[in-house]
Structure 1
Amino acid sequence: MRIEFYVLSTATPGDRLRAACQLAMKAWRAGLPVFLRGNDAQQCNELDDWLWRFKTDSFVPHNLHQDDAQAPVVIGLDEEPASTQGVLINLGNTLSPQVERFSRVIEIVNQEPDLLTACRENFRSYRQRGYDPKRVEL
């Protein structure tokens, strides 16, 4: 499993959501199923809104898990993904309980202090499970 921590230089929550949408679009265009994991229901709804409007000249087919778990890009919390071996974009503060079902995991980190602490803990947790997470500067 490939695990990457994409590190943003800002603390703006919107930058993190925009990056998640861009990465979801890139993975979907590469033919991979995508699961966007929000931190809570409110963030899932924000992601849904962002996917509709972040890029005016293209569309990313997506849906909330409860509405269509088979969508190319699924937004949810801890639900089991309909497709295995896809990409998990984790915006949650903890590891997904479904992490083993994905071939690639992307964590998006910004400079917000509480989020930095949570992401550092996630990084350690992946290492403790025997994975070799990588850091990617954006």
Structure 2
Amino acid sequence: MSDAACEVWFYHLERSGLDQVLPELLEKTLGRGWKALVRCGQRERVEHLDGWLWSYREDSFLPHGSADEPQAERQPIVLTTDDANPNGADALFLIDGAEAGDLDGYKRCILLFDGRDEAALTEARGRWKRFKAQGLPVSYWRQGAERGWERQA
């Protein structure tokens, strides 16, 4: 792992929901040769994603496991509600208000939030300020008109 500061990317979901966006971002992460940790705010989300990532598309699946399963350290994607990083992930995905915790060792932290939820928007703005105050490089991505992502800041 590099000593460079973890980049924090905010993804503002407006046109697509988490179930559509997360698999695409995880595919890109694995395509870089990185491992991913998906930290959820609730155990129910871990259980949902555990099934969803196997079946989200007919012709594909994302290999993964949850942190409480045997050999989690061997998984390319780990789903959890805990602060640990059992698979030595390069990318940390935060959903449902999950806290980042210590970002040492991560190359990128991706915070996904629902832009149609005022509380989630307010929380994301507060986190942006905190990450900036820590001196971390932050960027803001918004869904474009054609389903792609556009960097806004």
TM-score, scaled relative to structure 2: 0.79
CA shift for structure 1 position 78 = 2.4
What pairs with 1:79-118 in structure 2 (closer than 5 Å)? 79-84=83-88, 86-111=90-115, 112-118=117-123
Corresponding position: 1:42 with 2:41: no
Tell me which amino acid in the other structure corresponds to 2:124: C
Which of 118, 128, 131 lines up with 1:126 in the alignment?
Answer: 131
**Aligned pairs, how many?**
135
Task: For residue 115 of structure 1, report the CA deviation from its aligned partner.
Answer: 1.1
3-state secondary structure, aligned to 1:26: helix
Q: Which amino acid aligns with 1:108?
A: L
Report how far residue 39 of structure 1 moved. Answer: 0.8
Q: What is the alpha-carbon distance in structure 1 between the residues aligned to residue 98 and residue 43 of structure 2?
A: 15
As a proportion of its length, which structure holds more helix?
1
Q: Assess if the C-alpha contact under 8 Å between 2:36 and 2:89 holds in 1.
A: no
Using the TM superposition, give the Cα deviation of residue 80 of structure 1 relative to its aligned residue in structure 2, in angstroms: 1.2
Contact 2:37 2:89 in 1 (8 A): no
What secondary structure, in the 3-state scheme, does the structure 1 residue paired with 2:45 have?
A: helix
Confirm whether residue 135 of structure 1 aligns to residue 135 of structure 2.
no
Larger Rg: 2
- How many angstroms does 1:59 deviate by? 1.8
Equivalent position of 2:57 in the other structure: 55
| Change in 2 beyond 3 A, CA 1:80/1:132 | same
Q: Indicate how the Cα distance of structure 1 residues 85 and 59 shifts in structure 2: closer, same or farther if over 3 A, else same.
A: closer
Return the alpha-carbon distance in structure 2 between the equivalents of residues 79 and 4 of structure 1.
Answer: 19
The answer as to whether partners of 2:41 and 2:81 remain within 8 angstroms in 1 is yes
Q: State the identity %.
A: 21
Structure 1 residue 77 and structure 2 residue 68: aligned?
no
Deviation at 1:85, TM superposition (A): 5.7
CA distance in 2, matches of 1:121, 1:92: 15
* Superposition RMSD in Å: 1.7
Letter in 1 for 2:20: R
| Preserved CA contact (<8 Å) 1:95 1:122 | no
